[in-house]
């Protein structure tokens, strides 16, 4: 009985591993994902210390703004004063650190899972930007509060 249970658990774990591997391969071969390296880097720089759900929420904001404004991910992410990940004048990343493969993979999967939703702005929960007064809704995910303007 114990051996049968162990075999069943082994196959369940193996199935989970295969599913994760397929998701990673799909993400790596996704041409639209590769075309949005700036969005993926933004997710890393803005939210690598957040949960996967938090990273997907950042991806959602980028995709929502892309749809609302009819712009590319790069144009949205590098627009001055929109994301702290980029210098407002030079457009270069504000952080100079080594990005791990794990961070890249997590952000890539978050970007792939991201979708258009109702929130189009966010800020760290300790920060109250001037535009918060105009927000009609908010949602807290990890260290970020997401707003609808």
- Residue 112: domain span: 35-148
Q: Is 119 a domain residue? A: yes
Q: Is residue 5 part of a domain?
A: no
28 assigned to some structural domain = no
34, 43, 82 from 123: Cα distances, Å: 26, 13, 10
Structural domain includes residue 15: no
In this model, does residue 21 exceed pLDDT 90? Answer: no
Query: Strand order in 144-148's β-sheet?
Result: 121-124, 144-148, 137-141
Whether the predicted model's global pTM rises above the 0.75 cut:
yes
Instruction: Of 29-38, 79-88, 89-98, give the lowest mean pLDDT range.
Output: 29-38
| 101-136 tens-digit pLDDT | 999 999 999 999 999 999 999 999 999 999 999 998
List, for residues 36-82, the tens digit of each pLDDT value. 899 999 999 999 999 999 999 999 999 999 999 999 999 999 999 99
Cβ proximity of 46 and 142 under 8 Å: no
Does the residue 130 lie in any domain? yes
| Cβ-based neighbour number of residue 56 at 10 Å | 23
Query: Torsion angle of alpha carbons 83, 88, 77, 139, nearest 10°?
Result: 20
* 23 domain-assigned: no
Assess whether pLDDT exceeds 90 at residue 6. Answer: no
Q: Report d(CA 77, CA 80) in Å as an integer.
A: 8
Residue 80 lies inside a defined structural domain of this protein: yes
Does residue 44 sit within a domain? yes
The tally of domains found in the chain comes to 1
């Amino acid at each position: 009985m114990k051996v049968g249970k162990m075999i069943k658990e082994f196959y369940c774990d193996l199935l989970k591993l295969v599913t994760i591997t397929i998701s990673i391969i799909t993400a790596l071969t996704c041409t639209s994902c590769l075309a949005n390296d700036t969005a993926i880097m933004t997710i890393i720089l803005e939210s690598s210390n957040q949960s996967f759900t938090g990273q997907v929420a950042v991806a959602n904001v980028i995709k929502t703004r892309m749809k609302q404004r009819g712009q590319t991910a790069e144009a949205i992410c590098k627009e001055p004063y929109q994301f702290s990940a980029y210098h407002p004048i030079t457009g270069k990343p504000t952080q100079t650190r080594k990005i791990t493969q794990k961070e890249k993979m997590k952000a890539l999967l978050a970007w792939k899972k991201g979708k258009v939703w109702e929130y189009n702005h966010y800020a760290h929960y300790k920060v109250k930007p001037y535009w918060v007064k105009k927000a009609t809704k908010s949602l807290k995910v990890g260290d970020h509060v997401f707003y609808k303007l």
